[in-house]
Amino acid sequence: MEQVLHLARMMAEMRLAEYEGARIAKISWRKEPRPGMGYGVRFQKHGTRFLRIVCCETKQPLMGEISASLMLGKGGVGKSQSVPKEERILKQTGTTWRCFSYAEVLAFVAAAGDANSIHRQEPAIVPGMLILQELLGEHPMAQRMEIRFFQPLYCEEVVHLLPDKAGYSAMAKGERKFFYCI
């Protein structure tokens, strides 16, 4: 979806020093910007370990809004989300969604201008914006989507989607990687 790539490029153009090593904790996407949102990228909150950025395109065909919350530095996204044994067994009945290759990740970060080295190292972390782009491709009628990341998803990890209360949990290697809802 070209809209997500466009918004990712806008964010990457900021070239923030803090962005190196940062991981996305949450992405909120809207097909149409909220009323009063003007074009551009701006900070909503900026702390020593946390950054929230809003990116808005107001013109078609790339109109949209993304709010991204990032955990700064080399630390994790948050507490471990190990999946209980019963739920790991349920994973067997979940839908195998996909597995991102290193080449896909490199192509996306090059196209987006994303300079964060966590997407180029071995093993590379799959960019949250790439995950958003792929999910929106599968839900073309979605007007909104939110993704909460618990653990990094690495290249070559097979992702299984399980229906959850209000959306889907994505699991790989016995860990809950992210949750998304439409």
- Residue 166: its pLDDT value, please? 92
Sheet holding 168-172, edge to edge: 40-46, 50-57, 64-71, 23-30, 144-149, 175-181, 168-172, 158-163, 95-99
Radius of gyration for the chain, computed over Cα atoms and rounded to the nearest angstrom:
16
Strand partners, 69: 26, 52
- % of the chain surpassing 70 pLDDT: 89
Number of domains in the chain: 1
What is the predicted pLDDT for the residue at 126? 98
**pLDDT higher than 60, residue 182:** yes
Pairing outcome for strands 158-163 and 168-172: antiparallel
pLDDT at 86: 53
Residue 61 in this model has a pLDDT that exceeds 80? yes
pLDDT band at 89; cut points 50, 70, 90: very low
Q: Is pLDDT at 94 greater than 80 in this prediction?
A: no
Establish whether the linkage from the previous residue to 123 is cis, with ω within 30° of 0: yes
CB-based contacts of 26, cutoff 8 Å, min separation 6: 67, 68, 69, 146, 147, 148, 149
In this prediction, residues 16-40 reach a mean pLDDT of: 91
Q: Residue 162 belongs to a domain with what CATH number?
A: 3.10.129.10
Question: Which range marks the domain in which residue 53 is found?
Answer: 2-181
- pTM across the whole model: 0.88
- Best CA proximity match to 52, nearest among 61, 60, 43: 43
